[in-house]
A = this chain, B = another copy of it.
Amino acid sequence: MKISARNVFDGIVAAIKPGPINSEVDIDLPGGVRIVATVTHDSVAELGLAAGRPAKAIVKASSVLVLADGAGVKLSARNRLEGTVSAIVQGPVSSSVTIALPQGASVCATVTHEGLLALGLKVGDPATAVFKAPAVIVGVDA
């Protein structure tokens, strides 16, 4: 698999909550991080997803927002990965922020240049990557 998405996490399906159109799939990564994905009901069947089976959680960098200071707020987004900023690349409109996770993986977010300024982040600072469950694509080895 060669894919443009910068964030591909290997884990194990922990649970599936079926719904009529969308189902929720929980994927546990090594080190205790849980990723929540919503995928169509049909995809759960097509991929043969079931608790205990390996699965990949795939997230585009453009779907990830960055929280530099989450004090005082609770967000509906189900996925929050806490780590340390390991790289920042600035462009005229978009910038990318890479956050190294304590579990060993890292997560990449693209944000607007102004969003980056608002965060005031530099390499080494703590930060949290946040993304919604519908932003996650689930993959399995064929």
Determine the distance from Cα of A71 to Cα of B114 in the docked complex, in whole angstroms: 32
- B22 & A69 in contact (Cβ 8 Å cutoff): no
Chain A residues bordering chain B, tally (CB within 8 A) = 76
Task: Write out the residue numbers on chain B whose beta carbons fall within 8 Å of the beta carbon of A91.
Answer: 91-94
Determine the distance from Cα of A22 to Cα of B118 in the docked complex, in whole angstroms: 31
Distance (whole angstroms) from the CB of A89 to the closest CB of chain B: 6
Number of copies: 3
Residues from 37 to 95 in A contacting B, C-beta threshold 8 Å = 37-40, 42-44, 46-47, 56, 58, 60-63, 65-78, 89-95
**Additional A-B contact list (19), CB under 8 Å, known A6-B115, A72-B142:** A1-B67, A2-B118, A3-B130, A4-B66, A4-B68, A4-B119, A6-B112, A38-B40, A39-B132, A40-B78, A43-B77, A61-B112, A75-B139, A89-B93, A89-B113, A91-B92, A96-B112, A108-B112, A132-B134
Q: Footprint of B on A, CB under 8 Å?
A: 1-6, 17, 19-25, 36-40, 42-44, 46-47, 56, 58, 60-63, 65-78, 89-97, 108-116, 118-120, 130, 132-135, 137-142
